[in-house]
Amino acid sequence: MPDTPTAPVILGNEPGSFPRSVLAERHPAIIQQVRDAFPYDPRQHRALDALLKNCTEGTIEPLPTDAPDRAQWAAWGTDTYAGHSWYDVPWLWSESYFYRQLLDAVGYFGPGAWQGIDPFRPFKRAELDAPETDEELAALDELEGKPAEERDRALLHGSLWGNRADLGFRLSAAGAESVTQAPVPALVADDSERLWSLLSGTLCLVADNAGRELIPDLLLIAHLLAEGRIDRAVLHIKPHPYYVSDATTADVVDALHRLTAAPGAASTYGRRLWSAMADGRLTVRAHAFSCAPLPYADMPADLRAEFAAATLTIVKGDLNYRRLVGDCLWTPTTPFADVTAYFPGPVAALRTLKSDVITGLDAGTEAALVAAEEQRWRTGGTHALIQVRG
């Protein structure tokens, strides 16, 4: 399409850039966190050492010949990018491949005793079991008896701002939560009224993180089902661990147990969700493309058909936003509707801002953000958006 907007794809090779700091600083920090979290054996320690050296100083290498997804990753780009510096390929790709290589280093894909052991599980469990989670669940009791509009808004914004619990962000951004919010809107785009108007039938919710983000996502689904705003929900999660805190089926189960074991209204929500899964009103989907290093514009036909059949798809979180609009250096005023025109059905993005990618801002909002914070507003997690293309 000649009128489809374009922008440069983000790489990790610009000195001082946020993507470069992720590759040079966050990834080594995550390797160390994973190393310290488990009593790995010498082979795994050697593999982690090799990955650390390779991802900071070396070039991209193919997966082992016996890797179950070697052919898939070859199609996704290893045949193209092998031999290139991690910094000189698309940032989305190099980030994703780092996590795939980390799983290989710890033996996740086996065979062996560590097959299927999530290297990020201790971080996810600590997040889920934190006292702050108890406080957030207790707040549900205060919503009981409130007007429907107030409950709608509270649960939608809980899902939106829950993304600030992203563990991968916090591991390498110590002190980020202390950044003082400037006197500009926390919500830089708000299409929430449009979102509510589109809800009916089947909702697809593409989840992002586990723990204290996944719980409010599940609460929102339970609320929408209970209020009759939707008939059915499909929760898209990752087929295996990814990006430290991304949600897998095991994380969904952990979150449901956390809810059902809680006192008060939280337990009621948990039982509703459990029942909805049992009778098919809530299903969990783990498509391989959910861990692909590619934008959703390149989604396979079967996933496209699923999203096309949904009344609305809600895409959660920063990484999924990058995949939705394309991980590119867009002019911030580029219309969200234009860059998501390819998507096969109505789509909404709920996202706290933790990377440079942004679309759909009006010029006045962008100017106010830059005046108050220069470019820090893009990555600090202190601003959020709700964007909809119907």
pLDDT tens track for 66-111:
999 999 999 999 999 999 999 999 999 999 999 999 999 999 998 9
28: left (phi over 0), alpha (psi -120 to 50) or beta: alpha
Give the type of residue at 36.
Answer: D
Q: What is the pLDDT of residue 136?
A: 86
78: left (phi over 0), alpha (psi -120 to 50) or beta: alpha
Count other C-beta atoms under 10 Å from residue 78's C-beta.
20
- Residue 179: pLDDT over 70: no
User: Residue for token digits 């110590």?
Assistant: 174
Q: Is 188 exposed, middle or buried (0-12, 13-18, 19+ CB in 10 A)?
A: buried
Give the type of residue at 201.
Answer: G
Q: What is the pLDDT of residue 225?
A: 98
User: How far is 139 from 192, CA to CA, in rounded Å?
Assistant: 22
170: left (phi over 0), alpha (psi -120 to 50) or beta: alpha
- Residue 168: pLDDT over 70: no
3-state SS of the chain: helix, strand, coil percent to 5? 55, 10, 35
- Residue 245: pLDDT over 90: yes
pLDDT average, residue stretch 296-310: 98
Q: What is the pLDDT of residue 164?
A: 55
Q: Model confidence at 146, in pLDDT bands (50, 70, 90)? A: confident
One DSSP character per residue, 162-209 reads: GGGG-HHHHHT-TTGGGPPPPSS-SEEEE-HHHHHHH--SEEEEE--B
Helix (H) or strand (E) holding 110: none
Q: Convert the pLDDT of each residue in 327-336 to its tens digit.
A: 999 999 999 9
Q: Convert the pLDDT of each residue in 22-40 to its tens digit.
A: 999 999 999 999 999 999 9
Please state, rounded to an integer, the average pLDDT across all residues of the chain: 92
- Global model pTM greater than 0.85: yes
Cross-strand partners of 9: 328
Q: What is the pLDDT of residue 53?
A: 97
Helix (H) or strand (E) holding 123: helix 121-128
Residues in the chain: 390
201: left (phi over 0), alpha (psi -120 to 50) or beta: left
